[in-house]
Structure formats: C-alpha cells, structure tokens
Structure 1
Amino acid sequence: MSLLVPPRQRERPASPTAVAAEEAGGKRAPWLGAADREVLWLYLLTRVGVWTTAYCTRWLFAGDGKARYTGSFFSSWERWDWWHYLRIARSGYFPDGQGPWSAGWDNREAFFPGFPFLLRAVHTVVPSWPAAGALISFVAGGVAVLALGRIARSYPPHPSRGGAGPRAALFFLLSPCAVFLAAGYTEALFLAFALPAWLAARRQEWARAAVLVCLATTVRVSGLFLAAALAVHFLATARAAASPGHWRRAPWLALPALPPLLQSWYLHAHTGDWMAWKHAEERGWYREFHSPWEAWQNTWHAAFGHSQSTGYALMCQAELLTMVVGLVLCGVLLRRRRWAEAVYIALSLWALGTSYWYTSLPRATLLWWPLWTGLAAWSLRRPRVTTAYLAVAAPLSAVVAVTFLSGRWAG
C-alpha cells in the first residue's frame, strides 16, 4: 500500500487484462493513470523537500559561521561538474584555441555534449544559467520517474502489483544520492531518455527505443551500456517475437553508436586524438585502466588506511559499499535470467570499477533502474523492507544532500 496517499485515493490492483492492454501493443490505458499521478505527486513532494534542504543549508553553512548574508538562491547548486557543463554551454569545447595543450586546462572534453547544448538552448529563454540547469533537471526528472513507475508495473503480476510503480518511485526519490536529480547534472536528463527507451524495448518498439537510447548517448557514456542491453534484449525476445519482421528491425540497434562516433570525430579534428574524452578522464579523474582488484585495493586503502582526509575517506567507504551492492544486484539479475539488465549493470560496474580507485559509484546507482524496481517488488512481498529502507535511506539522503549543497562533497 502507499505510505503517502489516503486510503480512499489508493489505486486498486490492476487486473491482468488491463495490464496486458497497457503494456502490450493493444488498447492503451489513459495517458496518466492513478499510479502515474501518485508517482508524480511523490516527485513533487520530494522536490519540495530537496529545495527546502537547499535553502536551509545555504543559511546554516554560509561562509565561516559568522556570515550575515547568504549566497545567491542557486549558489548551493553551483558545484563541481556544473562548472564544466556551464563552460561548454557558454564557450564550447575549445574556446580561443585552448585545449589539452594549454596550461591549467580543465579537461572539459571528458563530458558529453547533450546536457551543455540543451543548457545553452534553454538559456535563450531562461536568463539565469543555474535556473536553466535546474529547470532541465526538474522536467527531465519528472519524465524519468514516471517511466520508472511504468517499468516497475511492466514486470510479471503480483497480488499487490498496483503499488509497484509508486513504491519504486519512492525508493528512487529517497535514495542516498537523490539530490543529484535536482542538480544541474546529467543524471536526470540521461534517465529521461534511458527509462522511456527501456519501456519501449519492453514493448518491443525497437525504433522508438533506439532513438531514445541514441539521445541518451549524447548525455553520458552510460548510453553505450544501455545500447548493449537493448541488443541483448532484442536477441532474447527474437524467439518469442510474434512479428515475422522482428529481424528487419535489427539495424535500429546501431543508431545509438552515432553520437559517440560523431563526438570522437569532432574531438579528433581539434586534438588529433580519437580517444580524447577518455584521455581527459584519465588526466582529470585518474580513470586510467587498472585491474578490478587493484581498484578495490586502492579504494580500500583510501577508505581505511588513514591516507585521506576523513571526508574523502567516508566517500571511499561509500564507494566500496556501492560496489558490493552492484555485484549483488548483478548476481540476482543473472539468477533470474534477466540477461539484458545484468549486462547493463555489469558494464557499469566494469567502467567504474577498473580505474585507479572507485569514483562516482554512489551517484551511478541513480541510473540502475533494476535496483529500484527490484526493491519495489521485494517490498511488496516483504512489507518490512519498506520500513527498513526508509529508516536507513532517508537520513542518508539528507546527509548526502547537505554534504553536496554545503560544498563538502568529496566523491
């Protein structure tokens, strides 16, 4: 049952007939059903909570504790990666002939162009750059959470199946790193393309899925992992496909490779390096290749070897814990023969788990939709899972939000 909606407003479990009509290609349910509206209501409530936290953090952590004035309204959100996106949006990748050969270069070519270019477009209407970034994340986050709820409802029926969508959304929106969905970062925009793409793939709408994954690859390299998962899902459904033209849709699967190829070509034209984005990551974030056990060992030493500041050590501890969660999730998906989603998680873990040490794994959990749909399904079978999750995750979410918004984020 829902935790936030009065009993008279709770959705009745969907009948198998209605579910089949909604997720197959037949007669569709209304554009926004009761479960969709509950998901959006949860989204709006959590946005109020996040922005309230940002407001309080700005006042509590202004300057050295003796400040009489706070920063600007959006100052708490202008952190770290935001400045890279902003510079690309303002002046492109190589302004005034600068590049990796310049002293003090910021390695901005490590970032894909989708978010900065959209930021520039929205800025033509919204004069404030941070407001434009916040608006993109707000709209994209709403699209993403709505798609997440529908994905959760698209899996095999359960007696309490009607609550799967809102439950997955609740777990996702109160997850420890949920603050990044509201920041001017790429997570919300990527999910706004990736989750509808997976929903389309579940319905075997391959052209639509491929186009959406193509858009996702303009935002993050994770789009390539999603493209691999899409190909695996295509192969897995080939035998059961009722349409004789199933294989004729296979060329669509190559479409998501186009944006990374164009990006590599553009960077090569300016730097002479086909892997310029990867080498920028190595220079700026120590993401040169190391074996998985070396990466684990280096992260463990940073977390518990007293070689780093306490804030950074805590972030490294979170990185280690997240890797364990990811490995368990991948194992569960393999055991349940959900091959495509297992491939997506495995590739994500490999990409983030083969650097010098782990970086941004907790943030990456926002992109692991099987985690949130799986937790939702588990909580419907075991009601205490919801209580346990909220009791632990909600305080962690607040801690991470304050850490990021106050400028103390080290991960």
Structure 2
Amino acid sequence: MSVMSPRSPEKAPPNPPAPPLPAVPRPARRRLRLGTEDRDVLWLYLLTRVALWTTAYGARWLFPADGGAHDPGPVLAPFERWDWGHFLNVARDGYFPGERGPWDPEWDDREAFFPGFPLVLRAVHTVVPQWTAAGLLISFVAGGVAVLALVRVARLHLPDEGAGRRTVQLLLISPCAVFLAAGYSEALFLALALPAWLAAHRRSWPLAATLAALATTVRVSGLFLAAALALHFVLTARGRADWRPLPWLALPALPVALYAWFLRARTGDWMAWKHAQERGWYRHFHAPWETWATTWESAFDGGMTTGYAFMFQAELLAMVVGLALAALLVRRRRWPEAVYVGLSLWALGTSYWYQSLPRATLLWWPLWIVLAAWTLRSPRFRTAYFCLVAPLSTLFALTFLTGRWAG
C-alpha cells in the first residue's frame, strides 16, 4: 500500500482552454477607420464649406440686386441660381407637368437635365422640407464622399506623402469650386464616379459598372467615364477569366436608354434630350475651330456685356487647360484618363460656343492629380498657383452667388 505525499495530491486534469476567437485581419480593421489624412481632408472640406457659406452671407448684404435694398433677402437665396431652378422644377413638378412640354413656346427645356440629381433631391425633400436646403445637403454629403475617394485615387499615381491631401486642396480652391457646394450635380457625380474608378483599379468590375451607371443617371459625363472604364478593362485583361465581367461594362448605357425611352413616350422624340440642349443652350454641332472662333469673338469683340465677355474668356482658358491635360495624359500613356477628358472636350468643344467648360474642370480628376504632383515638387509653382487661383475662386463664387453667369 502506497502512501501519497501531501505535497502532490492527486488532481483531475484541468479543462482545456477555450479556442481563441478568430482575430479580425488588420487590413480589414483599417478599412473601417478613417486615417489621419482622411480626417485632415474632411477638416479641410468643412472649412472650405464654411468659407463659401460665409461668402454667400456677405454677398446677400453687400451685392443685392437692388442697390437701395434694406432687406438682404432669404438666407439661402444666393444658392438658388441658374441650373438649380431646372433641378428644382423637375424634382418638384416632374418633367412634363400639366401636359406642358417642348411644344409650349414658353417651355424651359428641363428635359436637358438627367434625372439622377432631381430624384435624389425629391427623396431628401421628404426629410428636409426646404428644397434649397435639401439640395445643399446632397452636395455637402456627396462632396465629403468625393474628397475621400479622390484621396485614394491620388494615391494610385503619387507616392509623395500628403499627395491625396494636396490633390483635394487644389480641387476645393479651384475657380469653380462653388458649384460643389451649391445644389448642382457635380458633387453627386464625383461621389459616384471616383469610387467607380477605384473599383475598376481593384478589378471589381460589377461594382465599377454599377457606380458608373448611377453616375450616368446624374450627368451625361457618365458615358465618358464608362468609355474610360471599358478601355481600362481591355488594357488590363490578361487571361480568359479576366474577360468574364465584360458584359457588366454595358450597364452604364442602360440609364441613358431608359431616359431616352421615357422622353420618346412623352414627346415622340428619341433625341428629345439633345434637342432640348440645342434649343436652350445652343449645343448644335459645329466644327471645333468654328466653336473656338465664336467664343473668341464673344470674349473680345465687345458685343457681349463685360460680365459675359469675362466668362467667355474663362471658357477659352479652360479649353486650353483641357487640351494641355489631354496631351499630357497621352504622352504619359494614361489612355483611359485621356479618353475621359478627351470626350468631355469634344462634347463641350463642338457646340455653337463654349459653355460650362470651367465647371467641367471639377470633373477632371487627373488635372488635380497632375497639379498636386507639380506643387509638391516645386515650392515656387505652389506659391504661384495659390496666389493666382485664390482671387479667381473668390470672383467666381461672388459671380455665381450674386446671380450672374459663372462657369
């Protein structure tokens, strides 16, 4: 009979420890959080919004339509300009209210505007009853999404630290940046187009095509984006498996086809959108050199009032910048971006005269990436750029906010 030592009592074996929960991969965790650069960009975005709203407030008091006014008018009135009226009319009343349409001599040609922004505006209006406030909220949220996406697009091309922040900075102080704050479609388009571009670079073609289709509901520029995505697909496809998502690339054409069908059912005209553009904005086809000549005459021959002449000068400058950008993209063999910018230049550069070209520069994200690279590498260029662009941005903002034609 054995005697057990009191120091080593017999024990039951301990329970095995529970298996640890699977850890969340670090990359996934990072995607759920905003980085330092993202937070800096959002802070910059908020500050520039405050600056524009402050400018709008001052414009009401200092530059009223009636020089002898004692009441500055509604606080949101500076943002109720030009295209906003068309978006509002479509969102509030539809495209053809009361059986009115192109056959009406007083018609406003509202079918020239794609339905994406008005549909979102109508939806937001159910929560925000004031129409202008609803439009500003859409642009505010969409602009925040767009600048975060632009940071990531810039990182695809620029290795410099802070390149994304600088690219966003250049966009937000650009001459026509006021349109990103107004109830216009540019911010919403960028909030869809830039993530589509990112998805394409990650070869997530169904997502890229879906986002491009949504962008096409907002602006016809979505078709230019779709063409660039298609070229990017062709240039990067290697094996047979890479070609399987090809049918997705037809998706961005669907909104245009549906909109044309809708207009055909109401007006009997498959090309009602184009004809509205021609009636309201002189977008009849002209050879590029004829368009340049007409715009040049409007800018410098004294036939236009000074305000319109100045804006036609801005149109000419925007065309020069666009052509230089397209040439640079071709030289660097960035073919998809060159197609995107080139189609935009062709569409806007073959009308009776140039119109809305300065505003279109907001959608040319390769421009802001190229400029960011130059300003990061040359302090003198950075200083010169900011000194020249800052007053132009103020002039364009005041021009728009006081009801004059801008961009």
- Residue number in structure 2 paired with 1:13: none
Question: Where do 5+ consecutive residues of structure 1 fail to align?
Answer: 1-20
Looking at structure 1, the residues matched to 329 and 29 of structure 2 have their Cα atoms a distance apart, in angstroms, of: 30
- Residue number in structure 1 paired with 2:170: 171
Structure 2 counterparts to residues 9-408 of structure 1, below 5 A: 29=31, 31-155=33-157, 157=159, 161-239=160-238, 245-408=241-404
On the 8 A contact 1:153/1:162 being kept in 2, the answer is: no
Looking at structure 1, the residues matched to 259 and 119 of structure 2 have their Cα atoms a distance apart, in angstroms, of: 13
| Mean CA deviation greater in 283-292 or 147-156 | 147-156
Letter in 1 for 2:296: W
Looking at structure 1, the residues matched to 263 and 98 of structure 2 have their Cα atoms a distance apart, in angstroms, of: 15
Looking at structure 1, the residues matched to 382 and 142 of structure 2 have their Cα atoms a distance apart, in angstroms, of: 26
Looking at structure 2, the residues matched to 44 and 315 of structure 1 have their Cα atoms a distance apart, in angstroms, of: 28
Count of aligned positions: 382
1:320-354 deviation line (CA, Å, top 9, x unaligned): 01100000000000000000000000000000000
1:225-250 deviation line (CA, Å, top 9, x unaligned): 000000011111113xxx75210011
Looking at structure 1, the residues matched to 155 and 204 of structure 2 have their Cα atoms a distance apart, in angstroms, of: 17
Looking at structure 1, the residues matched to 221 and 82 of structure 2 have their Cα atoms a distance apart, in angstroms, of: 20
Alpha-carbon shift at residue 374 of structure 1 (Å): 1.0
Alpha-carbon shift at residue 68 of structure 1 (Å): 1.0
User: What percentage of residue pairs aligned between the two structures are identical?
Assistant: 68
On the 8 A contact 1:198/1:209 being kept in 2, the answer is: yes
On the 8 A contact 2:396/2:406 being kept in 1, the answer is: no
Letter in 1 for 2:250: A
Question: Where do 5+ consecutive residues of structure 2 fail to align?
Answer: 1-25
1:102-155 deviation line (CA, Å, top 9, x unaligned): 120000000000000110110001010000000000000000111111111122
Alpha-carbon shift at residue 64 of structure 1 (Å): 2.1
On the 8 A contact 1:180/1:363 being kept in 2, the answer is: yes
On the 8 A contact 2:151/2:164 being kept in 1, the answer is: yes
On the 8 A contact 1:289/1:354 being kept in 2, the answer is: yes
Looking at structure 2, the residues matched to 380 and 308 of structure 1 have their Cα atoms a distance apart, in angstroms, of: 40
Give SS of 1:289's match.
coil
Letter in 2 for 1:200: A
1:164-218 deviation line (CA, Å, top 9, x unaligned): 0000000000000000001111000111101111111122211111110000000
Looking at structure 1, the residues matched to 278 and 405 of structure 2 have their Cα atoms a distance apart, in angstroms, of: 21
Letter in 1 for 2:287: S
Q: Which has the larger radius of gyration?
A: 2
Alpha-carbon shift at residue 30 of structure 1 (Å): 5.2
Alpha-carbon shift at residue 264 of structure 1 (Å): 0.2
TM-score, normalised with respect to structure 2: 0.92
RMSD over aligned Cα, in angstroms?
Answer: 1.4
Q: Runs of at least 4 residues of structure 1 off by over 3 A?
A: 26-31
Alpha-carbon shift at residue 384 of structure 1 (Å): 2.2
